[in-house]
A and B are shown apart, each in its own frame.
Chain A
Amino acid sequence: MTTEEIALPELLIEPDRPVLHYWRDVWRYRELFWFFVWRDLLVRYKQTVIGVSWSVLRPLATMAAFSAVFGILAKLPSHGVPYPLLVFAAMLPWNFFANALSEGAASLIGNANLMTKIYFPRIIVPAAAMAVSLIDFVISLAIMAVLMLCSGYFPDWRVAFLPLFLLLGALPMVGGGLWFAALNVKYRDFKHLVPFLLQFGLYLSPVGFTSELVPQRWRLLYSLNPMAGVIDGFRWSLLRGAAELYWPGIILSSSLSLCLLLSGIWYFRKAERVIADVI
Chain B
Amino acid sequence: MPSAICVDNLGKKYTISHIRQDDSSLRELLSRGVARCGHRLLHPLSPAPAPARVSEEFWALQGVSFDIARGDRVGIIGRNGAGKSTLLKILSRITQPTTGSARVRGRVASLLEVGSGFHPELTGRENIFLNGAILGMSKGEIVKKFDEIVDFSEVETFLDTPVKRYSSGMYVRLAFAVAAHLEPEILIVDEVLAVGDAQFQKKCLGKMETVGSEGRTVLFVSHNMQAVRYLCNSAIVLREGKVACIDTPERAIDEYLRDGMVNEGGGDLAGRIAALPPDPAFRLVAIDLSQQGRGCDEVVENGQPLDLAIEYDVLQQTTGLRVYFDLCDEYGTILFRSFHDEQSDGIPVVHPGRYRSRATIPANLLGPSRYEIRVRASIFNVRACTSPEGVRIKLKVEQTGRYNKAYLGDTFRGKLAPTLSWENEAVTPLR
Give chain A's interface residues, CB within 8 Å of chain B. 5, 8-17, 31-32, 35, 38-39, 42-43, 46-47, 113-120, 186-190, 273-274, 276-278
Contacts and interface: CB of A to CB of B under 8 A. Distances in A.
Given A10-B103, A13-B104, A114 B134 contact: yes
Contacts of A274: 95-96
B82 interface: no
A120 B106 CA distance: 16
B20 interface: no
Nearest to B138: A31
A63 to B, nearest CB: 30
A118 B117 contact: yes
A128 to B, nearest CB: 11
A42 B126 contact: yes
B162 interface: yes
Given A12-B101, A117-B94, A118-B110, A189 B134 contact: no
Which of B27, B96, B98, B106 has the largest count of A CB atoms less than 10 A from its CB? B96
Interface stretch (B84-92, B273-281, B309-317, B394-402): B84-92
B428 interface: no
A254 B163 CA distance: 45
Given A8-B105, A14-B101, A42-B126, A276 B95 contact: yes
Contacts, number: 109
Given A10-B105, A12-B101, A14-B101, A117 B133 contact: no
Nearest to A12: B103
Given A8-B105, A46-B162, A278-B24, A118 B90 contact: no
Interface of B: 2, 14, 24-27, 29, 89-108, 110, 112-113, 116-117, 119, 121-122, 126, 129-130, 133-135, 138-139, 162, 185
A35 B14 contact: no
A31 B24 contact: no
A189 B121 CA distance: 28
Given A13-B93, A35-B129, A114-B134, A119 B110 contact: yes
Contacts of B117: 113-114, 117-118
Given A8-B105, A32-B133, A119 B94 contact: yes
Given A35-B130, A35-B134, A43-B121, A189 B97 contact: no
A273 B138 CA distance: 25
A11 B24 CA distance: 33
B89 A5 contact: no
Contacts of B100: 15
16 contacts: A8-B185, A11-B108, A13-B96, A39-B126, A43-B119, A43-B122, A117-B117, A118-B110, A118-B116, A118-B117, A119-B110, A187-B26, A189-B26, A273-B96, A274-B96, A276-B89
A11 B105 contact: yes
A114 B106 CA distance: 22
A27 to B, nearest CB: 13
Contact of A9 (B92, B102, B106, B138): B106
